Amino acid sequence: MKVDMLNPDKVIITAAITGGAHGKFANEALPQQPDEQAQAAYDCYNAGAAVVHLHVRDKRGLSTPDLNVYNEAITEIRAKCPIICQVGNGIGAVMDENWNPRLATQEERMNLLNIEPKPEMLTINAGSFTFVTNLGSILFLNPPDFNEEFVTGCRERGVGIECEVYDVGHVANILNLAEQGILESPIHFSFVLGIGGGIPASPENLLRLVDEIPEGSSWQVITIGKYHLPMTMMGMSMGANIRTGMEDTIYYSKGELAKSNAQLVERVVRMAHEMGREVATVEEAKQMLHLS
């Protein structure tokens, strides 16, 4: 896809408010319970976000596949504002009965198709890779047959799909789904840079990823950790949609913890305005993402 530095399209801002890994031990302002998440989503909506990317936690503050928690969180968010709800299908690390961490199973992840009320969007992770953390390495399995079944389930339910790409080869996996007629165009890509075990955050890598996707696709930049702000600025100037929030960075600047998810959204809105890009409303984002 050719980059247009003068792209006139409005920018869709997504707020990834919680994530599936770090908790309040990393930043006390991170929302964990449904009422906290609803307030954070509302604040981000008022700040300019059109999409809230959602992972949920149990009463202990740990990632959970429990649909009751998803149902409660989405219900409470919708009672406050019309922001688009997007659920990440990785879920995150959960604890077994002996308090040992494990990744959510593929059955637990597939069960996200049954969330009620139905979210407007669900994500797929475009390929398997070894997720490297400070605590060790974990194989994050996203085989083609799992993604085929998940995408089919989304289409049957009328749920939009976001494709999270962690490396260049993952783009080919998504295009293969499209060639088979399983995934419909236009495709919505999210390029995740800076995850341990995934593609590093660099200008060269972002340019390569954009070059691999078809014309007419929409795309978003997600950058984890210390490169979050520089890569967000680069993506913004290239015409990308942008994701920010405490899933991606707990800091506002070096050594300064973010006060809220809304603070991070407000910064992206200011950047967009300085670059002459308008921020998409919820209704405009729904049209751009082809959500019914």
Length of the chain equals 292
Asked if residues 88 and 55 have their Cβ atoms less than 8 Å apart, the reply is yes
Residue ranges per domain, the chain?
A: 13-288
**Spatial distance between the Cα atoms of 230 and 267, rounded to a whole number of angstroms:** 13
Q: Identify which of 177, 215, 209, 203 has the alpha carbon closest to the alpha carbon of residue 190.
A: 209
Q: Identify which of 207, 205, 169, 212 has the alpha carbon closest to the alpha carbon of residue 187.
A: 212
- What is the pTM (predicted TM-score) of this model? 0.96
Q: Which two tokens stand for residue 87?
A: 């659920």
Q: Identify which of 81, 133, 87 has the alpha carbon closest to the alpha carbon of residue 110.
A: 87
Q: Sign of dihedral through CA atoms 3, 6, 8, 14?
A: positive
Asked if residues 262 and 240 have their Cβ atoms less than 8 Å apart, the reply is no
| Preceding amide of 117 cis, omega within 30 | yes
Instruction: Give me the pLDDT at residue 8, please.
Output: 73
Place of tokens 């996200």: 112
Q: What is the mean pLDDT of each run of 10 residues along the chain (292 residues)?
A: 82 96 94 98 98 96 95 98 97 78 91 98 96 81 97 97 97 97 96 95 97 96 95 96 98 96 98 95 97 84
Instruction: Give me the pLDDT at residue 34, please.
Output: 98
Superfamily assignment of 13-288 in CATH?
Answer: Aldolase class I (3.20.20.70)
Instruction: Give me the pLDDT at residue 135, please.
Output: 65
